[in-house]
Amino acid sequence: MAGGITQAEYWNGEVGARWARNQAVLDAVFAPLTEALFDRAALRGGEAVLDIGCGSGATSLEAARRVGPEGAVTGADISAPLLAVARSRAEAESGAAPIRFVEADVERADLGAYGQALSRFGVMFFPDSARAFVNIRRMLPPGGRLTFLCWRALPENLWVTVPREAVLPLLPEIPPPPQPDTPGPFRFAAADPLVALLRGAGFGTVACDAVDRDVVLGRGATDAEAAQAAAHVALNLGPTAHLVREAEPDLRSRAEAAVTAALTPHAQGGTVRLRAACWLVQAG
Ligand SMILES: C[S@@+](CC[C@H](N)C(=O)[O-])C[C@H]1O[C@@H](n2cnc3c(N)ncnc32)[C@H](O)[C@@H]1O
């Protein structure tokens, strides 16, 4: 559940539509992290790849390019609006592996057999993670690997904390911390329980490495424009956007001013760059 609604309702409602509209921005913000994911996955020509929680499809498209025409890619997600964007992008691609995008709950669905499963921030939202990782493990024959990115703890992710801390004083009440082991972006912030979860799901080897990258949250002709652009991103996507959405409607313009002010000191040469901190996990 996310704020009293199911994950399917959450990703098919306003949040899914917002992510779909902002696909290009989002892919640009995540680009350095995506590169780290694919370096680790080391996909080989001809492989079959499952992209878990593929969203608007950037990583499915990249996987299809990397495994080439002899390979095959399945992008699976529960969000119809994000899958619609993914499908429209796949039609424009040629010379890559065929991609099928399927609306499916990866916690339960049997989607076939894959040499590689990967995910960019798509594995933290299963109501029952243990069941989901067992299901994913089942779709990987011996030798198959799962590679994914998930967020480390909130305080290490300045791209979230800087805008978030600007918004908190404006809220009528401090939001409660997330319940342990419930769907959400920071659910796997602690490495040890995550490694135990994956081992419990039947993965024999699990490596969990810290990856830090500076992500570009906004650009502009001036630092002031860059800070504004970055505030727009922070208030449309991710945890700060979630806080503002949950609060009263008139908060938005005040939040925009506060977040822009907080991001301004981080603008340099027309770019706002802030640290993102992830776990890059590989299990086989
Ligand atoms: C943070 S977004 C990441 C999307 C995409 N991987 C990206 O990097 O742009 C999380 C995605 O996981 C999807 N998702 C959540 N629960 C899911 C489930 N049970 N099965 C498949 N996808 C799921 C959501 O719909 C959403 O697209």
Full set of structural domains in the chain with CATH: 7-283 (3.40.50.150)
Q: Residue 37: CB within 6 Å of ligand 1?
A: no
| Percent above pLDDT 70 for the chain | 97
Query: Above 90 in pLDDT, residue 248?
Result: no
In this prediction, residue 1 has a pLDDT band, given cuts at 50, 70 and 90, of very low
* Of 79 and 174, more confident: 79
Tell me the CA–centroid distance for residue 265 and ligand 1, in Å: 32
Q: Residue 7: CB within 6 Å of ligand 1?
A: yes
> Mean per-residue pLDDT for 137-159?
97
Tell me the CA–centroid distance for residue 163 and ligand 1, in Å: 23
Q: Residue 106: CB within 6 Å of ligand 1?
A: yes
Tell me the CA–centroid distance for residue 153 and ligand 1, in Å: 19
| Percent above pLDDT 90 for the chain | 85
pLDDT at 121 (0 to 100): 98
Q: Residue 129: CB within 6 Å of ligand 1?
A: no
Residue position matching structure tokens 């409602």: 13
pLDDT tens digits along 20-30: 999 999 999 99
pLDDT tens digits along 217-245: 999 999 999 999 999 999 988 888 888 87
pLDDT at 4 (0 to 100): 75
pLDDT tens digits along 97-139: 999 999 999 999 999 999 999 999 999 999 999 999 999 999 9
Task: Check if the beta carbon of residue 102 is closer than 8 Å to that of residue 112.
Answer: no
In this prediction, residue 95 has a pLDDT band, given cuts at 50, 70 and 90, of confident
pLDDT at 140 (0 to 100): 98
In this prediction, residue 92 has a pLDDT band, given cuts at 50, 70 and 90, of low
pLDDT at 78 (0 to 100): 98
Q: Residue 78: CB within 6 Å of ligand 1?
A: yes
pLDDT at 249 (0 to 100): 72
pLDDT at 245 (0 to 100): 76
CA 134 to chain centroid: 21
Query: Above 70 in pLDDT, residue 31?
Result: yes
